[in-house]
């Protein structure tokens, strides 16, 4: 076990922070910040496999599939966080992007010792959400060797589902199993082995880009505006108004009026405001263009 850990980049000692416990607080924080600045560069080097994942996952989602994140500890919590934010941001069904974690719901708040060491537990969790061949499993683990995630990936492969791995060690078992491996090498942590730091930051950045990229490909974004948000409180209603104003150059009163007329459907409101079509025509255009608002607008203007 010791020799195995010694092979992991994320478990090595960082020569830049050897004396982090002996320096003034401001210097300690500068050391950590210096290490953090390396993360974006590491993520930039894995954009090609990330783009491949976005394209393949969005295609599967368009054909009835779902995206399921699985992980343990920090990695599992990051997956759950990303999944939980998709419905309010993009108006998707809560079952479209799902996060599962070793140890279940209690592990979100407190580590469940031993749960991550079982390959069968992830299989059980995937069966609970009726994981199938149309779906995508995104396995997340800094080490790239967490048994819980590996068990889930093996199960997903046996079903013919798409498998994607996000780890911070090259040539890991997860990377070898996955059809698409995303492995930013962020280097040793400021505090040896504390992968909630740089590795966690890299994973968060990748998950942000993965889900955002997928939602853009699904037509949930017009220009750089979210057009499927659910305006179910005053803050989000106000955001919807601002989005319509930005997209159409309408004034505040007009934005309020068109949104009210279209039941606060931002996508429909923008299309009708920009093209002048009636609601029935607008709905048909959106359906014909698979929700892509730019394409729907272009179809009217041709």
Residues annotated catalytic, as ranges: 85, 116
Rounded distance between C-alpha atoms, residue 142 and residue 8, angstroms: 10
Q: What is the signed CA dihedral for 271, 275, 277, 279, rounded to 10 degrees?
A: 10
Rounded distance between C-alpha atoms, residue 80 and residue 253, angstroms: 38
Rounded distance between C-alpha atoms, residue 284 and residue 23, angstroms: 65
Provide the 10 A C-beta neighbour count for residue 163: 21
Q: Which two tokens stand for residue 245?
A: 């104003």
Tell me the C-alpha to C-alpha distance, in Å, between residue 282 and each of 50, 85, 255, 269: 34, 28, 17, 9
Of 268, 260, 188, nearest in space to 228 by CA: 268
> Which H or E run contains 236?
helix 234-248
Residues ≥6 apart with Cβ < 8 Å to 275: 282, 297, 300, 301
Provide the 10 A C-beta neighbour count for residue 31: 18
Written as one string, the DSSP assignment of 125-174 is HHHHTT--TTSEEEEE-SSS--HHHHHHHHHHHHHT-EEEEE-SSTT-HH
Rounded distance between C-alpha atoms, residue 16 and residue 31, angstroms: 8
CB 280 within 8 A of CB 290: no
């Amino acid at each position: 076990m010791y020799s195995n850990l010694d092979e992991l980049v994320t478990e090595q000692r960082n020569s830049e922070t050897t004396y982090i416990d002996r320096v003034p607080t401001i210097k300690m924080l500068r050391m950590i910040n210096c290490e953090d600045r390396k993360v974006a560069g590491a993520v930039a080097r894995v954009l090609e496999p990330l783009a491949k994942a976005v394209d393949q996952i969005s295609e599967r989602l368009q054909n009835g599939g779902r995206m399921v994140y699985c992980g343990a500890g920090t990695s599992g919590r990051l997956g759950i966080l990303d999944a939980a934010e998709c419905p309010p941001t993009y108006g998707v069904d809560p079952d479209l992007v799902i996060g599962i974690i070793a140890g279940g719901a209690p592990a979100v708040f407190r580590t469940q010792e031993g749960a991550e060491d079982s390959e069968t537990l992830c299989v059980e969790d995937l069966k609970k959400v009726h994981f199938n061949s149309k779906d995508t499993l995104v396995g997340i683990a800094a080490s790239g060797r967490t048994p819980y995630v590996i068990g889930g990936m093996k199960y997903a492969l046996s079903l013919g589902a798409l498998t994607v791995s996000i780890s911070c060690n090259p040539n890991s078992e997860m990377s070898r199993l996955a059809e698409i491996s995303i492995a930013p090498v962020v280097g040793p942590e400021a505090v040896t082995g504390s992968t909630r730091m740089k590795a966690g930051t890299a994973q968060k950045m990748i998950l942000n880009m993965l889900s955002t990229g997928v939602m853009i490909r699904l037509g949930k974004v017009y220009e750089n505006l979210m057009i499927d948000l659910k305006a179910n409180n005053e803050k989000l209603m106000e955001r919807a108004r601002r989005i319509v104003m930005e997209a159409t150059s309408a004034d505040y009163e007009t934005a309020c009026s068109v949104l009210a007329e279209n039941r606060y459907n931002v996508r429909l409101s923008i299309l009708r405001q920009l093209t002048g079509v009636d609601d029935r025509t607008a709905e048909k255009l959106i359906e014909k263009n698979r929700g892509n608002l730019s394409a729907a607008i272009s179809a009217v203007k041709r």
